[in-house]
A and B are shown apart, each in its own frame.
Chain A
């Protein structure tokens, strides 16, 4: 073809595909072509640098950002322990070393969330408002299994633009037994003996399987008192902080019993 214009004029439609006629000694053939301009998936692919020197922000705006962090919750016969680190990250940067991931919803129920902080903050505000309305309507605070169901519904409400929040809910139920619920981002939930979520969950869950759920062990399973579980939690976060870059600085540990919530802060490595 002599020029782009003559090629564009010679384009024929064959079997629903654009094609150029090529004359050769063996006969006439049509070669499929595409002259896509406007809907080019990579508009800078033809640039001499393949779009590499374009600033990162031009590749599109994402409403989500992973701010890192790990949460862990363990239930016992009459208590629940929930812990989360206090580091807020963005990419390879530490934005703050002292930001809490735990939020007490009632005297008996604490929500720990890792993920995108702005969505977590919004989720907390929405839940707080719903809990207030419930307390006004029913003249009592919400019980932990009800909070669990409500959180699931709230998350599913945003099924098609989810809250990027990985939650664990810990508390004591109406009988005073420890209750821990684990969630995914769109509200699927289950009551479990323990739960870990966030960037360090892969380091914590296998450890918990052995120590708390007593899997693959030959010795007798025994009920652990809350003080011992707190020590296990501290060790677990030291482990996770060692290998996960988003976990570190400090762990906030809350022990929930039917008397109330006790808080403790345990410092971790700041690297």
Chain B
């Protein structure tokens, strides 16, 4: 904050040093008005980026709050919610699982469109699958506001890439591939966890990993969790999906799945999640990334469900009553 005053102090000093009083027009005064203006502008130019950077960094997402070490939030137990220093302690509005699978033509993700407010199904049309650039798709579970903030940050970076590319017209080459986005998300998450103020998300990244020569390479599917654990695999799932859907996906995965097969498999897993995850809904979105068409995200649609399975009809609990205890 004190740096803000620097240009003004500089200006005041110069004015006081080089007064235009005739008495000072001697060898002591070496500053003409022009030189005075040059010196002020030089000082302002050098300090302003620092000021702007300081300003931006303290409000930026990646910094995660105040950058001054002295005021680490939460360590001041007398007043943990000191003004200006807030940190994440628990997620409030949450998305549940995101599942992903590689197939012969690319990578496919599925997620439902529900953002829950605790046990309330509050936002039934939330987009949890988002494209960052025409080649990369991410899906997020966990705190929905943190996911939106992360999406904004990534899209900002993608826009900057497009605007500063060598050519405004060339499609390929300037965009970050999925592996680069995955690495960047990992760095953001790790930085936030170091400040004990995480983005409370599990993010799945889908797309292609660019080869060294710039050509689009192998399909890529990676996951980053809220402390920055980053790994890739052929099948991935977050949240409840890692318990219910991942075993199914691992069992049925083959290297040469066609698009229809991959989609059917993901829909089956989303159906299982709807049956057994009480924070899931049957209104889902499927998204895929292919080399030719890039990212395609479907409109939300509802899955058919069947509730006449024996264990739903005749509960294993008491025969009379609702099966509860």
In the assembled complex, B190 has its CB within 8 A of some CB on chain A: yes
Cβ of B231 under 8 Å from chain A? yes
- Cβ A117 vs Cβ B198 within 8 A: no
Known: A63-B196, A118-B190, A161-B194. A39 touches B229 (CB 8 A): no
Per-residue A-contact encoding for B80-95, CB less than 8 Å = 1, 0 else:
0000000011110000
Asked if A58 and B90 make an inter-chain contact with CB atoms under 8 angstroms apart, the answer reads yes
Check B58 for interface membership: any CB of A closer than 8 A: no
Cβ–Cβ < 8 Å partners of A121 in chain B: 186, 228, 230
User: Once bound together, how far apart are the Cα atoms of A27 and B85, in whole Å?
Assistant: 52
For the complex, give the distance between the alpha carbons of A98 and B89 in Å: 32
Q: Closest chain A residue to B192 by CB distance?
A: A63
Interface size on B, residues (CB 8 A): 22
Number of interface residues of A (CB under 8 A): 23
Please report the C-alpha to C-alpha distance between residue A66 and residue B308 in the assembled complex, in whole angstroms: 42
Contact in complex: A88, B231 (CB < 8 Å): yes
- For B77, the closest partner residue in chain A by CB is A39
Give the number of residue pairs across the A-B interface with Cβ within 8 Å.
53
Q: What chain A residues lie within 8 Å of B243 (beta carbons)?
A: 93
CB contact between B196 and one of A58, A61, A96 (< 8 Å): that residue: A61
| Closest A residue, CB atoms, query B79 | A38
Inter-chain contact B91/A122, CB cutoff 8 Å? no
Contact of B231 among A60, A61, A99, A161 (CB under 8 A): A99
B193 and A118 contacting across the interface, CB-CB below 8 Å:
yes
Sample of 6 further A-B pairs with CB below 8 A, known A58-B89, A61-B89, A118-B189: A61-B196, A63-B193, A64-B227, A93-B243, A95-B242, A122-B190
- Report 17 cross-chain contacts, Cβ distance below 8 Å, ordered by A residue: A55-B90, A57-B91, A60-B89, A61-B89, A63-B194, A63-B198, A65-B229, A88-B231, A93-B242, A95-B242, A96-B233, A117-B230, A118-B186, A118-B227, A118-B229, A118-B230, A122-B228
CB proximity of A177 to chain B, nearest CB, Å: 35
A93 CB contacts on chain B under 8 angstroms: 242-243
Within 8 A of A (CB), among B202-236: 223, 227-233
What residues of chain B lie closer than 8 Å to A64, measured between beta carbons? 227
Tell yes or no: A67 within 8 A of B by CB. yes
Closest to A65 in B: B227
In the complex, A116 Cα to B229 Cα: how many Å?
8
Known A-B contacts A39-B77, A118-B190, A161-B194; the reply to A57 vs B90 at CB < 8 A is: yes
Interface string of A42-69 (1 = CB under 8 A from B): 0000000000000101101101110100
| Bound complex: CA A93 to CA B118 (Å) | 24
Chain B neighbourhood of A117, CB < 8 A: 229-231
Q: A118 is contacted by which of B77, B89, B90, B228 (Cβ under 8 Å)?
A: B228
A121's closest neighbor in chain B, by CB? Answer: B230
Cβ of B228 and Cβ of A61 under 8 Å apart? Answer: no
A94 nearest in chain B by CB position? B246
B77 contact set on A, CB distance < 8 A: 39
Interface residue ranges of A106-164 to B (CB < 8 Å): 116-118, 121-122, 161
Q: A60, A63, A98, A99: which has the most chain B beta carbons within 10 Å? A: A63
Smallest Cβ distance from B243 to chain A, in angstroms?
7
| Residues 163-195 of B at the A interface (beta carbon under 8 Å) | 186, 189-190, 193-194
**Quick one: which of A58, A61, A88, A122 contacts B198, CB cutoff 8 A?**
A61
